[in-house]
């Protein structure tokens, strides 16, 4: 997916440079029509530049008056452009991004993604990962103030305290990957407690680090498993098994299909754990409900001592913040 997006963007930047070159040509033609003196001055300037270069290459020193003469020509061109109703930088190179000059990359000698390219890359990556509608869900934008700060009944801490702790644990897990002691992560709790938000934050941080992370819903996973089961074609399932980090949202919302749902969940989790792959799951089910729905065989692989299980508690903040 990453390489496909980069190829697409490189092609788009190539097209943009071609469009810009065409725009530059049209501007020069327009300026020449409005003021024929401008192309003559540009030709004189070019002659100064190339004459100076030829002189250096043949061993002659660069004369002191060349920069001064260039400045006079440039000021004259700018003045003529303004006199003819054009901006003084009208004949400057046309760029959508001056930082990278529409190449998408900056830096010497090592080229890195320009900010403009990086923004487009991650926007497109998020969209294809199903994160397009969750652009603002990042660790940096996490707002603990949406959670109540009063101690919960029977407990000496607030829901905000819990979420700030979970925020740190999730951010540390994503930033430290692949050096994690616990490769299985389970978020448990009712709806509206921030589970999916933190999963999106983790996904984005992993993607930014270049990790092969894949985010899907539990329904999409079951649909993929069902199609593989009936068709015998395993390419999509192989993608789920091969992802370095697989994040599955809303386990328990998918339908229970006889001889498919439970078996496929077991096969997926067991195989990924065997391969040492990381799996992150959110669910509205409690531990006893998870065991009842998926059997002890599946639950034991998610809720063992080697997993990081976070219990989300408190009130639904979506109801709390609604008008």
pLDDT tens readout for residues 284-300: 999 999 999 999 999 99
pLDDT attached to residue 4: 87
CA atoms within 13 A on the CB side of 155: 13
Residue 267 — very low, low, confident or very high, per pLDDT cuts 50/70/90? Answer: very high
**Is domain 133-321 given the CATH code 3.30.450.20 in the classification?**
no
Structure token digits, residue 165 = 């702790």
Average pLDDT estimate for 110-130: 80
Higher pLDDT, 127 or 7: 7
pLDDT attached to residue 127: 76
pLDDT tens readout for residues 242-258: 889 999 999 999 999 88
Average pLDDT estimate for 67-73: 84
pLDDT attached to residue 136: 75
pLDDT attached to residue 242: 86
- Domain locations in the chain as residue ranges: 2-113, 133-321
pLDDT attached to residue 219: 92
Neighbours of 71 (CB within 10 A): 10
pLDDT tens readout for residues 34-65: 999 999 998 888 888 776 555 555 555 555 57
Sign of CA dihedral 283, 285, 288, 290: negative
Structure token digits, residue 214 = 């894949």
Give the whole-angstrom CA distance, residue 254 versus residue 219: 5
Output the average pLDDT for the chain: 88
Cβ atoms of 128 and 5 closer than 8 Å:
yes
Average pLDDT estimate for 147-170: 92
**Residue in 162, 155, 172, 220 with CA at minimum distance from that of residue 194:** 162
Sign of CA dihedral 309, 209, 139, 252: negative
Sign of CA dihedral 141, 147, 149, 154: negative
Average pLDDT estimate for 252-270: 91
Average pLDDT estimate for 5-13: 93
Average pLDDT estimate for 18-29: 94
Coil, strand, or helix at residue 217?
A: strand
Q: Which residues of 257-294 are buried (b: 16+ CB within 10 A; e: fewer)?
A: eeebbbbbbeebbeebbeeebbbbbbbbbeeeebbebb
Residue 279 — very low, low, confident or very high, per pLDDT cuts 50/70/90? Answer: very high
pLDDT attached to residue 322: 46
221 to 228, 237, 249: CA distances (angstroms): 11, 8, 10
Residue 7, burial from CB neighbour count under 10 angstroms (0-12, 13-18, 19+): exposed
Beta partners for 308? 185
Residue 321, burial from CB neighbour count under 10 angstroms (0-12, 13-18, 19+): exposed
Residue 202 — very low, low, confident or very high, per pLDDT cuts 50/70/90? Answer: very high
Give the whole-angstrom CA distance, residue 179 versus residue 177: 5
Greatest mean pLDDT among 132-141, 239-248, 278-287: 278-287
Neighbours of 91 (CB within 10 A): 19
């Amino acid at each position: 997916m990453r390489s496909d997006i980069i190829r697409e963007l490189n092609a788009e930047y190539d097209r943009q440079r071609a469009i810009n070159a065409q725009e530059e040509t049209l501007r020069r033609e327009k300026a020449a029509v409005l003021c024929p003196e401008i192309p003559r001055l540009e030709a004189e300037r070019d002659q100064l530049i190339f004459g100076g270069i030829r002189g250096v290459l043949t061993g002659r020193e660069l004369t002191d008056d060349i920069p001064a003469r260039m400045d006079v020509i440039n000021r004259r061109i700018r003045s003529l452009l303004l006199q003819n109703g054009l901006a003084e930088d009208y004949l400057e190179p046309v760029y959508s991004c001056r930082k990278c000059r529409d190449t998408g990359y900056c830096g010497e000698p090592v080229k890195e993604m320009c900010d403009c390219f990086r923004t487009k890359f991650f926007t497109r990556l998020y969209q294809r990962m199903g994160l397009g509608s969750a652009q603002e869900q990042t660790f940096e934008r996490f707002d603990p103030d949406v959670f109540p700060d009063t101690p919960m009944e029977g407990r000496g801490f607030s829901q905000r305290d819990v979420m700030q702790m979970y925020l740190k644990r999730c951010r540390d897990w994503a930033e430290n990957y692949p050096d994690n002691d616990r490769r299985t992560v389970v978020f448990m709790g009712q709806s509206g407690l921030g589970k999916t938000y933190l999963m999106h934050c983790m996904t984005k941080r992993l993607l930014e680090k270049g990790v092969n992370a894949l985010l899907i819903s539990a329904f999409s996973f079951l649909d993929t498993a069902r199609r593989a089961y009936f068709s015998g074609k395993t390419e999509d399932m192989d993608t789920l098994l091969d992802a370095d980090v697989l994040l599955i949202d809303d386990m328990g919302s998918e339908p229970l299909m006889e001889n498919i749902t439970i078996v496929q969940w077991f096969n997926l989790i067991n195989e990924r754990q065997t391969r040492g792959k990381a799996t992150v799951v959110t669910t509205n089910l409690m531990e006893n409900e998870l065991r009842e729905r998926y059997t002890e065989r599946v639950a034991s692989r998610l809720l063992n001592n080697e997993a990081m299980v976070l219990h989300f508690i408190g009130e639904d903040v979506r109801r709390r913040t609604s008008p």
